Amino acid sequence: MSRTLTYREAVREAMVEEMERDPNVFLIGEEVAQYNGAYKVSEGMLDKFGPQRVIDAPIVETGFTGLGVGAAMVGLRPIVEFMTWNFSFVAFDQIVSSAAKMRLMSGGQINVPITFRGPAGAAHMLAAQHSHAPESLYAHFPGLKVVVPATPADAKGLLKTAIRDDDPVLVMESEVMYSVIKGEVPDGEHLVPIGKADVKREGKDVTIVTYGKAVHTCLAAAKKLAAEGIEAEIVDLRSIRPMDSETVIASVVKTNRCVVVHEAWELCGVGAEVAARVQRDAFDHLDAPIERVSGRDVPMAYANSLEKVCIPDAARVIEAVKKVLYLS
């Protein structure tokens, strides 16, 4: 059995279930308690768990992130919420120098079972500084795991797995998806493994590799393509590090064509990594060069009209698909 949840409800359920399951789990972040969360993700959690476990932090990311890493080092399982991932840059050193390195540099004596989570990517007219999609940036660092769920079921299942993971996991959500994206979430214990991609739509003509919010853009594009007789297979990576090559390669071997779609910029982006792996492992199966559809290579525009141009839309996905099919 399953229920329909919004993305927001799914994230909340994951935290609540894990906090009920393990007293070492706590939530810390800006406005997570009294205000019920900047985006109401933690609504009701203060009432349920009290101020010891749902903690309002001052507006000092480097401070409360460091606090979280320290707590994790002594055995707690913190969930550090960034109001948005844009603010994580203030705490960058805590994440990449402390959390990511501690296990190695302590010779395996100290692990850091921490979860960093919050929305990433463009929402709507939040301008250049508040529209970052930093998944490839963080995925670059060995010692960190990065997941970008696209559906309520994946958001719940991946976040629960992240909280139980003994190493730092970064979960990137989306303001846009919190309310708009609804979906079936299985009842009972629902865990999604980190590092396993998911085929969100089967097709034989082209493989579209994507993740996060862009999955929905690609599904919309696939629907239009189907009307033209083109069946796109959509592989949702779900996890950027570790990355599941196997599912991607199996799909490309089937379709012979590959398009990678993400909101983040192209240079050194996830698409570059996917393309490198596909050309290495499926070289003899490619009928066309791999195409990438990504955010325009500029700081995000504030103007509504220009923001739309920056973010990949279904039309651009369709264009790329037709290119690899030699139809354009």
Partner 1 sequence: MAILVEMPKLTDTMEEGVLRKWLVKEGDVVEPGKVIAEVETDKATMEMEAFDRGTILKLLVPEGTGVPPGGGIAILGKPGDDVTALLDRAGKKAEKAAPAKAAVSAAPVVAAAPARAPTGRIPASPLVRRLAREHGIDLQAVAGSGPGGRVIKRDVDPIIAGGGAALAVATITPLPVRPAAPLPPPSAGDVLVPLTPMRRTIARRLLESKQTIPHYYLEIEVDAEPLALFRSQANRDLGEGGAKLSVNDIVLKATAKALREVPQVNSSFREDGILRHGRVDVSMAVAIEDGLVTPVIRDADRKTLGQIAAEARDLALRAKDRKLRPEEMQNGTFSVSNLGMFGIERFAAVINPPEAAILAVGTIVPKPVLRGDLMVPGKTIVLTLSADHRVVDGATGARFLQVLKDLLEHPMRLVL
Number of residues assigned to the chain: 328
Site string for partner 1, 198-237 (x = CB under 8 A): ----------------------------------------
Q: E strands, 187-326, where? A: 198-201, 206-210, 232-236, 239-241, 258-265, 291-295
Q: Does 326 bind partner 1 (CB under 8 A)?
A: yes
- Measure the CA–CA gap between 98 and 113, rounded to whole angstroms: 12
Q: Does 288 bind partner 1 (CB under 8 A)?
A: yes
* Residue type at position 121: G
The SS3 of residue 195 is coil
Report the residue number, 187 or 284, with the smaller CB distance to partner 1.
Answer: 284
* CB of residue 270 to partner 1, shortest distance in Å: 23
Q: Give Cα 108 distance to the centre of its chain.
A: 27
* CB of residue 328 to partner 1, shortest distance in Å: 10
Site string for partner 1, 63-92 (x = CB under 8 A): ------------------------------
Number of residues that bind partner 1 (CB under 8 A): 8
- Measure the CA–CA gap between 173 and 84, rounded to whole angstroms: 9
Q: E strands, 11-98, where? A: 25-29, 54-56, 77-81
* CB of residue 222 to partner 1, shortest distance in Å: 21
Report the residue number, 246 or 287, with the smaller CB distance to partner 1.
Answer: 287
Q: Which residues bind partner 1 (CB under 8 A)?
A: 256, 283-288, 326
